[in-house]
Structure 1
Amino acid sequence: MRDWCPMSPNPHSQEDLLDRLIAAHGRPDRVTHVRRIPPRRGRPTIWPDWARPEVVDAFRAVGVDHPWEHQALAASAAASGRSVVLATGTASGKSMAYLLPVLTALLEGTRAPNGRGATALYLSPTKALAADQIRAVDELRAAQTGLDPVRAAAYDGDTPVDLRRWVRGHAAYVLTNPDMLHRSLLPAHRTWSAYLKALKYVVIDECHTYRGVFGSHVAQVIRRLRRVCRRYGSDPVFILASATVSDPGGAAARLIGAEPDDIVAVTDDASPRGALTFALWEPPLTDLKGERGAPVRRTATAEAADLLTDLVVDGVRTVAFVRSRRGAEVVRVMARDQLERIDPGLAERVATYRSGYLADERRGLERALHDGRLLGVAATTALELGVDVSGLDAVLLAGYPGTRASLWQQAGRAGRAGQAALAVLIARDDPLDTFLVHHPEALFDRPVEATVLDPDNPYVLAPHLCAAAAELPLEESDLPLFGPVAAELLPGLVRRGLLRKRPSGWFWTSPERATDLTDIRGAGGQAVRVVEEDTGRVLGTVDAAAAHSAVHQGAVHLHQGDTYLVRLLDLADDVALVRRAAPDWTTSARETTDIRILEEVRAEPWGEGRLHFGSVEVTSRVVSYQRRRIMTGEVLGEHKLDLPERSLRTRAVWWTVTPDQVADAALDDTDLPGAAHAAEHASIGLLPLFATCDRWDIGGVSTALHPDTGLPTVFVYDGHAGGAGFAERAYATAPSWLAATRDAIAACECEAGCPSCVQSPKCGNGNFPLDKPGAIRLLTVLLQGREGELEGQAQAESDTCEQ
């Protein structure tokens, strides 16, 4: 996020770049819309008089002659003791806004009771972002010797044990992540006591990423931090930063457990911005037929690889954001293969950046990104955040990233320091992507989504109460910090034998680590190591939750352009053994899912139909995988798997219809399963327009007769234990959400259903059965029932008034 890096010159205007991409290889009909966002002039101001001259001189030495107005406003609020959230655009210099008060405080020599100078804590969602901030501080220290006393160090999973001891004892500015705060720093707070007593600032960077279940966990980790700090006599000021967040003051308050009035929200971006040309791009249909004879559209990954190749050949520094690790690796492989035939030297300047790499490999990529040795990068969201990639000219987005917040975060990686930039959103063959590239107003004319998080979720809160009690016995006075639900949960935790009630409070009673009760990222267990069988070399890791579908036996695994086949997945030892291979196909896992209703929380009649929200248990199993051609997605075959089932207790929205409504929709017993299934797929695809979620954050089940309802039922559920707020949002917006779903299906030009309307890329039943016309009729009947319900209510109210 640094804005003081030297920038490489942009060799082309962005209109010229877009015209060249359109003209190359016969692509005249692929751009569905172009939005040109004009440049913006900056509003500079003077350095605040409270800032230490050594800090100001350091910024001047790296090329920052003055702060922008928003930087000075946010920095001064923090320096005055007010917590602040800075919500301005990507590359607007947010890091300078928090480094100015932080570095000033660290130099002031303010003494805590133990004689240690002031300290500060930096939290980021990724190791890469923390490493980038270390480079920022080192750059300032190199430019101004007056900053030599500032000792900054990373404290994460890659930090060696001996260095961790040094960090605890000597570092003033510690850069870490919520995971380490949860599992390491807070449980060992006594060894951090000198640091915590002197803690003056806590910086929470990219705070918009803390949403859903992960955000709810982080909110409770921060409450635990505040509680421990209070016991040591400190009350740190919080500085939060994000390029994209709705209601920044409210979101920041929910995250840190404060009142909105206690947060200063700075949202007026005073930094300069170059012009942005933003194109929406739809790959063409091919001559191939997919499952059930549906037409196959060229994949977004293949299209992104072609565009990345063209841009690299033109010397245009480009990042292609891809939705998955495997997709990023595929884009890199395809682009390098094409570049090898054009200029082998250029092929070596293209790489992949994603999570799951080992620390040394990740650091090497970050250095190559920073110094410009890499010209093209295929990346996952691991590069979406504030890692400095100086001088980018173009960004490709291979598929809608799931939220408008992420869309603008990714697009904002280009055009830094006033440069003009090009962004291209390439639609996947998916209902939501297809809808968006033909409805640009949904992207460009609507604000970013609200940040959804629920710290009071009992599944989230309960394990953090246990962790807090293990850190320091819980007292009555602590409970307001953890929210209104905390007191209700404690008796249950006592009955389960996790806590013991004493006159002085609640104590953790188990010899086990309380932090092992929960994984704040919902990975669901130990990460699976990917090991090259012939050499024993560890290539990287895969999250436990993704292992069944990503590294099952027979899966294709890609790593920095090299292709491997998984020979064995050993779940007992959390190891996947792989061997080098060179297939011209990839693999996709298929799973079956069943759902059971545990509790109905809310419900409302929609005529004869009914809309529900509540708790469910979802049971799933990966049962097989398909081999597909890389270039076209053509299915080559299916292979059975024998893996254990997994269960998830979560929240869901579901709707039911009666047999009479089914008859009104002109559906018989053979049509109904396909109609419900198609409606389920499309509703999942459209929900990200109405809730801050990604298609992969949610799941669905449809059935012509569910045993718990006795009726045809369609479920959409949160894919996170305890729920993430997405299904609840779906319930609240159901009329608009389901109407948009019906309209999107009806507007698709296909006859029988395709990936642009009712087919799903993650369907466990191979997208069968699907009945597109039936889905339209079924949703229409459901929505008519609600309209009739509203008319009936209005008439009843009118009759009451007349009486």
Structure 2
Amino acid sequence: MARGSLDAAQQKAYSLLEEMIAQGPQIVIESSTPTDEQGGATEITEKILESINQIGPMSQSRFSVIECSETTDALDLLLDAIQITKRSNESILVFVEGASSARSTLRILKAKNASLEILDLSQKHSQKSLATNGLRADLIIATPESIHRQLLPEQFSLYRIIQRISSLWIFDMVEFRGLLGSNLFHILKRFELAAKDLGRDISLVGVGIELGDADRFACELFDCGGDQLAKIYLPPDRPGSISIGFIDPNIEVDPSSALTIASKLARLGWQGNLKTAVITSSRLKAELISNFIIESSSNIPAEDLVLYRGGYLGELRVELEERLLVDRVKIAVATSALARDLTRFDLVVLVGFPGTIARFRRDFQRISKAGGMIVLVASADQLDRWITRNPHEIITRKNEGAAINPFNKSVCHHQLIAASSERSITASSYLRGENGIREVTDSLEQLVAQSTLIKTPLGYQYVGSRQPTRNYGLRGYISRKYRMITTTGEVLEEINEDQIPTSAFIGAVYRHRRARFRIVAIDDDNSFIFVEKTEDQIYTKALIESNYQFSKMRLLTSPSLGLWIGVADLFVTETHLGYETYSEAGALLGIQRNRLPSKELDTEAFFISFSDDATSDIETELLPGALHAMEHCAIGILPIVSICDRWDVGGVSFVASPGSANGLDLDEISGAVAIYDGYAGGVGISYATYEAQATLMASTLETLVNCPCTTGCPSCIVSPKCGNNNEPLSKRGALELTRLVADSLAGKRNLKGS
């Protein structure tokens, strides 16, 4: 969208926006390819021919990775591949992260080729409907759950569908990091075994959209070597330019200022007839922003605004997605997890940085129209402030890489049970090479010892009577969902059971579509949460007590005397003790005690431990706060070195007492800081953190040094998810400890003075 083509209202709106961000840094991302006016636009026919030529390497290898910066580029290549497979009456199966992604992908593909026969497996189908539609589909779109729970368990009656599939495509790979990707590794294995029994060798194609080390990640996901992987690169084709501005609100004076500024920007866009998307990190913030927009401007019609977030029932979600396609909608307020379903907005307002450089490039540049504008309104956390001080990193920093751990004990156990219920397996028939043989063999033998499997001459076989895939969640929570119901019988939305201790406990205030509801009762037998509407201007925060025990230290290194860094197993116990009630202004109104059953997590952690000598310059009374503050700041910065959200990890810091170091069996330990995977068994984040320890600690130190506060604030050491109410904290002590670690890792410091 060239600025010269705008009407007067739009020109004025952009001018006002530029005035608002004039005090902060700005970036312009220029065109990636020449425009028509410059005489070099690529013709559509040439692009199609180029795409078809790209399929050549894929046909020579069973494993391929496509690196690109736009989803549509990879979809064009997929459409070309479909034209080839149709000639032999074959189909392609595409994995997407969730049902909303499935619907979005289906809409884009249908718009490009209305004659395509597409089966959306993310929706429920009867056995008869699935068998009929699957046999004529050119393309099958599926989530991991739909293959795990529906197609593979019924493979013997649906074998003709599997027999037609020539290749599996993963769109896009970064969404399959962590636990979901660890499970997908095994689902691909199970699908390959099913196809092999039918005489098919399935090809695997990974699509990496703005993903660092996409080829390495594809090799991990596909269980193949780099020499077996065909690599395809699609250069970006994004004409025009996108302006990026930064607003750093005065969070210290007004904690809600980021939300009010975002709502002001949305109103300004609406007045200037600019299609505007406001993206934030949480459901609650999305609810608050939409409230601010409507309440502060009575002349914005309700049909002009769509609030689009997770948790809504399927029918409502589909209705909102259809509304977003109508030009009448001028403002979309959405959570970042759903932002990939939005397209081509004149103005995109990000309330808080979206976590990673890769996510920013992939999602938010795609949302914006060429010639449009992105405004980042910094929130109070460490990463946002680091980005506003280092805006050039958006262009110059390499995309972060993703991590999985398919041999996580919990994942391995559940997936091997599922695989052995479908056919007899052995470690060597299950895996392609030696990687993971020991872990898979150990898991199989442990399952035999538990009488879950038996060992036969053909391999290991499941002996249970229940379908093993039904109640296993692929994303870190069990599949049980609770429905939230009002006192009048209206069903509001669904939430997962593991959200109850933190946000849906009895007494909690919960927001739904700009209204407040108080949770009054929970029916565990029927999976119902009963709520009643409230006008109270309050919010609630859960009180959680945590206990930690380390074991099995590994990768232990000592960059300087008195400092130990490594990875260890960690057992975490969390107990909901009650909740606090706050006014909208943030004043504590009261504390309610209400203990719930404890949750346990057996995972992995990256840790840094200090000896007495290392901490000798820090006053004894400041040490607990120094360790705690260093932990908070490092977690806040972690997404710049590993594709994860701060909610994917947890943290712990402690001062060791004589004879007790929470299981860290090291001599003369005075204290430690640890960052752990928030998923059972670990999903690779701790190992990725260990590999990037020098970068992480250097960036943590930079954040502490450059933050202008004296005693600590949300931009450096205060964490929104701290279970100890951010007590104790010592910024001065954290600076000393972090500098010690960062300098030691950079080779600048030895505690004994050399």
Whether TM-score is above 0.5 comes out as yes
Could you say if the C-alpha distance between residues 619 and 15 of structure 1 is closer, same or farther in structure 2, counting changes exceeding 3 Å?
farther
Q: Which residue of 1 aligns with 2:228?
A: 262
* Matched residue count: 733
Could you say if the C-alpha distance between residues 794 and 72 of structure 1 is closer, same or farther in structure 2, counting changes exceeding 3 Å?
farther
Letter paired with 2:103: A
Q: Which residue of 2 aligns with 1:217?
A: 183
Map 1:60-209 onto structure 2 (within 5 A): 67=47, 71-78=51-58, 83-90=63-70, 92-106=72-86, 108=87, 110=88, 117-139=89-111, 142=114, 147=115, 150-159=116-125, 163-164=129-130, 166-168=132-134, 170-209=136-175
Q: Distance in 1 between matches of 2:244 and 2:737?
A: 37
Letter paired with 2:120: A
Three-state SS of the structure 1 residue aligned to 2:431 is helix
Q: Which residue of 2 aligns with 1:722?
A: 681
Q: Structure 1 residue aligned with 2:540, among 561, 572, 587?
A: 587
Could you say if the C-alpha distance between residues 119 and 787 of structure 1 is closer, same or farther in structure 2, counting changes exceeding 3 Å?
closer
Could you say if the C-alpha distance between residues 693 and 141 of structure 1 is closer, same or farther in structure 2, counting changes exceeding 3 Å?
closer
Letter paired with 2:101: L
The yes-or-no answer on 1:235 pairing with 2:201 is: yes
Cα contact 2:65–2:214 (8 A) shared by 1: yes
Deviation at 1:304, TM superposition (A): 1.9
Q: Structure 1 residue aligned with 2:326, among 362, 371, 374?
A: 371
Could you say if the C-alpha distance between residues 497 and 157 of structure 1 is closer, same or farther in structure 2, counting changes exceeding 3 Å?
farther
Q: Structure 2 residue aligned with 1:649, among 565, 588, 602?
A: 602
Q: Distance in 1 between matches of 2:516 and 2:188?
A: 41
1:409-457: CA deviation from partner (whole Å, max 9, x where unpaired) = 23223345xx312112221101121111111233321011112122233
Q: Distance in 2 between matches of 1:782 and 1:180?
A: 46
Deviation at 1:168, TM superposition (A): 4.5
Q: Distance in 1 between matches of 2:166 and 2:478?
A: 34
Pick which of 735-744 and 311-320 moved more.
Answer: 735-744
Deviation at 1:682, TM superposition (A): 1.1
Q: Distance in 1 between matches of 2:353 and 2:566?
A: 29
Letter paired with 2:30: P
The yes-or-no answer on 1:515 pairing with 2:473 is: no
Three-state SS of the structure 2 residue aligned to 1:593 is strand
Could you say if the C-alpha distance between residues 547 and 15 of structure 1 is closer, same or farther in structure 2, counting changes exceeding 3 Å?
farther
The yes-or-no answer on 1:500 pairing with 2:480 is: no
Letter paired with 2:27: R
Q: Distance in 2 between matches of 1:789 and 1:480?
A: 44
Q: Distance in 2 between matches of 1:625 and 1:457?
A: 33
Could you say if the C-alpha distance between residues 309 and 640 of structure 1 is closer, same or farther in structure 2, counting changes exceeding 3 Å?
farther
Q: Distance in 2 between matches of 1:12 and 1:98?
A: 41
Q: Alpha carbon RMSD of aligned pairs, Å? A: 3.0
Three-state SS of the structure 2 residue aligned to 1:762 is coil
Cα contact 1:212–1:724 (8 A) shared by 2: yes
Deviation at 1:790, TM superposition (A): 7.3
Cα contact 1:43–1:271 (8 A) shared by 2: no
Q: Structure 1 residue aligned with 2:642, among 662, 676, 691?
A: 691
Structure 1, unmatched stretches of 5+, are 1-8, 45-62, 111-116, 288-295, 796-803
Q: Distance in 1 between matches of 2:249 and 2:52?
A: 45
Map 1:395-544 onto structure 2 (within 5 A): 395-416=348-369, 419-475=370-426, 477-481=428-432, 483-484=436-437, 485-516=439-470, 518-535=472-489, 537-544=490-497
Deviation at 1:212, TM superposition (A): 1.5
1:305-344: CA deviation from partner (whole Å, max 9, x where unpaired) = 22222212211112221111222222222212223x2x24
Deviation at 1:689, TM superposition (A): 2.0
Letter paired with 2:366: R
Q: Distance in 2 between matches of 1:728 and 1:118?
A: 40
Q: Structure 1 residue aligned with 2:502, among 549, 553, 559?
A: 549
Deviation at 1:28, TM superposition (A): 5.5
Deviation at 1:270, TM superposition (A): 4.9
Q: Which residue of 1 aligns with 2:568?
A: 614
Could you say if the C-alpha distance between residues 85 and 18 of structure 1 is closer, same or farther in structure 2, counting changes exceeding 3 Å?
farther
Cα contact 1:594–1:701 (8 A) shared by 2: no
Could you say if the C-alpha distance between residues 28 and 357 of structure 1 is closer, same or farther in structure 2, counting changes exceeding 3 Å?
same
Deviation at 1:66, TM superposition (A): 5.5
Deviation at 1:617, TM superposition (A): 0.5
Deviation at 1:534, TM superposition (A): 1.9
Q: Distance in 2 between matches of 1:713 and 1:556?
A: 36
Q: Structure 2 residue aligned with 1:671, among 598, 622, 635?
A: 622
Could you say if the C-alpha distance between residues 729 and 174 of structure 1 is closer, same or farther in structure 2, counting changes exceeding 3 Å?
closer
Q: Distance in 1 between matches of 2:357 and 2:532?
A: 39
Three-state SS of the structure 2 residue aligned to 1:514 is coil
Deviation at 1:756, TM superposition (A): 0.8
Structure 2, unmatched stretches of 5+, are 37-42
Cα contact 2:9–2:271 (8 A) shared by 1: no
The yes-or-no answer on 1:38 pairing with 2:30 is: yes
Q: Which residue of 2 aligns with 1:307?
A: 265
Cα contact 1:396–1:424 (8 A) shared by 2: yes
Deviation at 1:13, TM superposition (A): 11
Q: Which residue of 2 aligns with 1:779?
A: 738
Q: Which residue of 2 aligns with 1:559?
A: 512
Letter paired with 1:745: L
Could you say if the C-alpha distance between residues 82 and 610 of structure 1 is closer, same or farther in structure 2, counting changes exceeding 3 Å?
closer
Three-state SS of the structure 2 residue aligned to 1:223 is helix
Three-state SS of the structure 1 residue aligned to 2:417 is helix
Three-state SS of the structure 1 residue aligned to 2:547 is strand
Cα contact 2:569–2:604 (8 A) shared by 1: yes
Cα contact 2:562–2:751 (8 A) shared by 1: no
Q: Distance in 2 between matches of 1:183 and 1:725?
A: 25
Q: Which residue of 1 aligns with 2:39?
A: none
Q: Distance in 2 between matches of 1:69 and 1:14?
A: 39
Three-state SS of the structure 2 residue aligned to 1:600 is strand
The yes-or-no answer on 1:280 pairing with 2:246 is: yes
Q: Which residue of 2 aligns with 1:602?
A: 555
Q: Distance in 1 between matches of 2:174 and 2:710?
A: 40
Deviation at 1:88, TM superposition (A): 1.6
Deviation at 1:272, TM superposition (A): 3.5
Q: Distance in 1 between matches of 2:330 and 2:53?
A: 36
Three-state SS of the structure 2 residue aligned to 1:713 is strand
Deviation at 1:183, TM superposition (A): 1.5
Pick which of 272-281 and 777-786 moved more.
Answer: 777-786
Deviation at 1:476, TM superposition (A): 5.8
**Normalised by the size of structure 2, how large is the TM-score?**
0.90
Deviation at 1:598, TM superposition (A): 2.7
The yes-or-no answer on 1:322 pairing with 2:277 is: no
Cα contact 1:745–1:776 (8 A) shared by 2: yes
Three-state SS of the structure 2 residue aligned to 1:663 is coil
Three-state SS of the structure 1 residue aligned to 2:397 is coil
Q: Distance in 1 between matches of 2:33 and 2:7?
A: 22
Cα contact 2:511–2:517 (8 A) shared by 1: yes
Identity within the alignment, %: 23
Deviation at 1:521, TM superposition (A): 0.7
Cα contact 1:528–1:547 (8 A) shared by 2: no
Cα contact 1:78–1:101 (8 A) shared by 2: no
Letter paired with 2:31: P
